[in-house]
Amino acid sequence: MVLKACKHIEKHSEIMVAASQDEIPKITAYLDKVMSQGYFGKKEILEVQLAVEEACINIIRHGYRGAEGTILVMNDFEDDVLKVTIEDRARRFDPTQFEKPTFVDNVDNRPLGGLGIHLLRSLVDESRYEYQEGKNRLILIKYSRIKNSRSRLEVRC
């Protein structure tokens, strides 16, 4: 007997919020809902939520700097891959240009900043940056570990 259980996965979805830290819970709840529909475990969901939260906080604090604005978070599924695109119209900033921080220096001599970007990159499998038509686009890629480890007996939907 073969049991076939298929989840409905929305190939594309998006949420737009005001550039305010008060909106972060809406984004994390949205990511939980979207990723739970796919083949992502709780650990993967938490990693993406934290990466996106870090990116959005940087946009709010350092990009918009208190000015009004919006943040668009888009999700695209392709097989076992989730692509999260975070788009804003804040000042241009490429987080992928930051070098990996060194942790061997004395903490008192270490420059401030950059650890959030390092954390963000450590939580996803790939990150890319684009700047087009006055918009920053940070693209985060996460591969599903659950779908890749499924049994060979399971029927694919």
CATH entry, 12-148, from 3.30.565.10, 3.10.310.30, 3.30.465.10, 3.40.50.2020: 3.30.565.10
The radius of gyration of the chain from alpha carbons, rounded to an integer in Å, stands at 17
Residue with tokens 């060979």: 152
CA distance 139 to 96: 10
**Banded model confidence at residue 114, pLDDT cuts 50, 70, 90:** low
Question: Each residue of 119-137: pLDDT tens digit?
Answer: 888 899 999 999 999 999 9
In the chain, domain spans = 12-148
pTM of the model: 0.81
Question: Each residue of 26-50: pLDDT tens digit?
Answer: 999 999 999 988 779 999 999 999 9
Question: What are φ and ψ of residue 38, in 5° steps?
Answer: -95, -165
57 half-sphere exposure, CB direction, 13 A CA radius: 12
Q: By three-state DSSP, how is residue 153 classified?
A: coil
Residue with tokens 């005001």: 18
